[in-house]
Structures are given as C-alpha cells and as structure tokens.
Amino acid sequence: MKKLLTLTPAIQRIQRATKTSRVHILFFIVTLMFAFSVKAQTPGALDTSFNPTDVGFGFGDGVNGSIITTTLQPDGKVLIGGFFTRYNGIFRNYIARVNADGTLDNTFNPGTGASSTVGTLALQPDGKVIIGGSFTTYNGTSRNRIARLNADGTLDNTFNPGTGASGGVLSLALQPDGKVLIGGAFTS
C-alpha cells in the first residue's frame, strides 16, 4: 500500500504533462492549418470558391501526383511545385501556377518544365521565381537542381547557376541583397 501512495504523485505529474502535451499539439496543428490557408475565412469553413474544376472530386482533376511546395503571390495566384506532370489534364511538368479560384493560370507556361521534382520555390520581389529540387533540366536547358524562372514560367537565362548542385535542393531562402541561399542533399 505504501508503494502505491508514493507513486500517485508521480502518476499525477505524468497525467498533467500528458494533458499539457495534447493541448500543445492541438494548438500546433490549428496554427499550421491557419498559417497555410490561402484566404482568411471562418475557421473550419470550406472555401467553395477554390475548386480546380473538380466538381465530383474524381480522378484526373487538380494535379496527377503530389504538391510539395506552394507560394502565394501578391495577386492571389499560387505557385505549386512537386511530383506531378499534369494539372486538370493539362501538361505541367512539376510546376504550375493556379488562379485564386484554383483554375490553371495559362499565362504561366513552363513549356516542358522541369525534368524531375520541384521541391522548393521562392518568389522574388520582381516576380521571378527561384526553383529547387531534383531536376537536371528545365524546358530542355541544363539546370542542375536550381533555376530561375521569369514571371511567365519561362527559364530566365540571365541566372546561370553554373554546374548547379550535386544533389537535391530541398530549401531556398532569399536574402535582402538578392542573393539566394540553398540547402539540401548536396556537397557542391
């Protein structure tokens, strides 16, 4: 009986810590959901204005794979990158831009696009887009895992990363001076 009484305060501390952890995890999940929402709306409400022509939530609508990265532009359009080759049945190799309502933005045309996954992207103040991932070409031009696109999705040939990265680029950051920082699974 004495051992049980001495364990009770320890068990009570564990129970309080578990409840606190659950509250923190729930708070974290709710914060993430809010942070990644494209438009402010009533919490939990379905945004019916964003529908990539997927009336019945069937196959072939939206992307035909996975979206890995997104960036919201000041005009409300959303850049998406990932592991997909089509958006609403239209060829878009690993990168696309959608309008605020979820429809494909046809003014952003990447041509043949990236040769493999676009895993990260960053929007520059001038509207150009830095992309990183596991691709080795963009629209047929050699670009080892990093490239810069013009606002219309075409390759910006004034940005020449040389031999590029030796492995996947997983993260990008823009410095105020215009320099680009990259991180990932590469050694050079």
- DSSP code for 36: T
Phi/psi at 102 (5° precision): 95, -5
Q: What share of the chain is helix, strand, coil (3-state, %, to 5)?
A: 20, 30, 55
Calpha distance 43→46 (Å, rounded): 9
In terms of Cα–Cα distance, which of 147, 146, 165, 166 is closest to 157? 147
Mean pLDDT of the chain: 81
Q: Residue 163: pLDDT band by 50, 70, 90 thresholds?
A: very high
pLDDT at 11: 52
d(CA 60, CA 88): 6
For the ranges 33-37, 79-83, 133-137, 143-147, which has the lowest average pLDDT?
33-37
Q: How many other C-beta atoms lie within 10 A of the C-beta of residue 44?
A: 6
Is 0.85 topped by the overall pTM?
Answer: no
The model's pLDDT over 67-86, given as tens digits with 9 standing for 90+, comes to 999 999 999 999 999 999 99
User: Across residues 97-122, what is the average pLDDT?
Assistant: 94
Comparing 39-43, 65-69, 169-173, which segment has the lowest mean pLDDT? 39-43
Placement of tokens 């009336």 in the chain: 55
Confidence tier at 38 by pLDDT (50, 70, 90): very low
What are the residue ranges of helices labelled H in the chain? 2-35
Q: Alpha-carbon dihedral of residues 106, 107, 112, 116, nearest 10 degrees?
A: -90
Among 79, 83, 100, 55, which residue's Cα sits nearest to residue 151? 79
In this structure, the number of other CB atoms found within 10 A of the CB of residue 80 comes to 21
Q: What is the DSSP letter of 101?
A: T
| Three state DSSP letters for 45-63 | CCCCCCCCCCCCCCCCCCE
Higher pLDDT, 22 or 159: 159
